[in-house]
Amino acid sequence: MIVAGNWKMYGGPDPAALAERLADVPGVDAIVCPPYVSLARCVAAGLTTFAQNVHWENEGAYTGEISPSMLLGLGVAGSLVGHSERRQYFGETDSDVARRAQAALEAGLGVIACVGETQEQRDAGDMETVLRIQVEAIGAACGAHERLVLAYEPVWAIGTGRTATPEMAQQAHALVKSLLDRPVLYGGSVKPDNADELMAQPDVDGALVGGASLDIESFAAICQAASLS
């Protein structure tokens, strides 16, 4: 089981204190995805550290971006790509996400590639079509790479307090795995009180945690739930 904490544009908990707390939770691969300014501190604390995004070029005139080689130089293990907030607020396309994932994997990083539908797409009955397009773009660029993990995050459940039911999550995860045979994490308002049910589903391989990852005890409780699943 894998549990990744996406700190977004928040300072997050003290990395050393978090690392000490997670040492008491065996049997789960815990990952933190802090802002760029905290990457080195998280690596130094011994946490498995992913960036929140990565560019497809190793260098160049790409203001505001960071390259795979720069992340590797910091000791970072991987990166998120394609988070819905990147797609929504910064116009990232399926092609952009695939290029970022491919470049990161080729450089030796791990990747958590995010996919998911909006409420409007689900209401229109387009959930399966949206997921198919997104996953197939990643699969065409990367294949079933051993360092690739996918994350299903229904956009309507991110930061809203709404969560897909375990049955809804299982349905989406089974579809994603039928398209690309890699582990799939669930993301979307994961909390200690719903983590058990979500991660008990046969095709849910862990969680991508947002707000709850900013609190050490909440994140540790989700990791504990994963370790028992």
Residues annotated catalytic, as ranges: 83, 153
At residue 213's C-alpha, the angle toward residues 216 and 143, to 5°, is 135
Cα separation, 20 vs 46, in Å, equals 9
Q: Which DSSP helix (H) or strand (E) runs through 51?
A: strand 48-51
Name 33's bridge partners: 6
CA distance 229 to 220: 14
Taking the C-alpha atoms of residue 13 and residue 10, their distance in angstroms, rounded to an integer, is: 9
Within 8 A by CB and 6+ apart from 148, the residues are 101, 105, 110, 111, 113, 138, 142, 182
Return the structure tokens found at 182. 């890699």
What CA–CA distance (Å, rounded) separates 134 from 115?
6
Burial class (CB in 10 A: 0-12, 13-18, 19+), 120: exposed
